[in-house]
Structure 1
């Protein structure tokens, strides 16, 4: 049975992660959704190198390749919430990106 995966929705009714993914080129777009399917299929059993815990309850989905994309998410009430996505350009995940995810997680938790 697949795990529930939801996109974070802000106060204006927008879905920032979905909007980000839709702006990617077609190959990367499809790759990101294949990785999201991994969360849906394996849930909390998905392990590195696909995911990594980066802060408290915040995890990152690690899409690797020429362009590295990160999707930050939480697992809460038997569902995965995709909070924030960005193109990774540095070795360490920037604290500003983590803060966006934390702020959005606090609206769900």
Structure 2
């Protein structure tokens, strides 16, 4: 994988920033690494680190003791972190995706 132009990462609101900042090591280090991958490789980040959920929403997958998921989107040459949660089941919770979609609508 080659590096793209780096993009800024922006939290859509204070709640997602607090969520992302609430973890201890090693989860915090994995989130920082995930953000670095997004910043440097943008759309080229794929499984197991990220996957496309809808046409505009992607999921950053933080694997470890906690299964943290951070929804993000690309908008005007920036990466917006929309919503995050701790995954507890195999399926993607609909309410978590609905929250990300609501926050995505703030960008339109």
Q: TM-score, normalised by structure 2?
A: 0.90
| Whole-Å separation in 2 of the counterparts to 1:29 and 1:48 | 20
2:6 to 2, 23, 32: 2
Q: Secondary structure at the match of 1:43?
A: helix
Is the 2:27–2:64 contact (alpha carbons within 8 Å) kept by the matching residues of 1? no
| Whole-Å separation in 2 of the counterparts to 1:105 and 1:81 | 9
Instruction: State the number of aligned residues.
Output: 104
Q: TM-score, normalised by structure 1?
A: 0.89
RMSD of aligned alpha carbons: 1.1
Q: Secondary structure at the match of 2:18?
A: helix
- Which one has the bigger strand percentage? 1
| Whole-Å separation in 1 of the counterparts to 2:98 and 2:64 | 25
- Name structure 2 gaps, 5 residues minimum: none
- Name structure 1 gaps, 5 residues minimum: 10-14
Q: Secondary structure at the match of 2:48?
A: coil
User: 1:12 aligns to what?
Assistant: none
- Kindly report structure 1 stretches of 4+ aligned residues shifted beyond 2 Å: none
Q: Deviations over 1:16-74 (max 9, x none)?
A: 22100222123211211111111001011111111111123111001111211000011
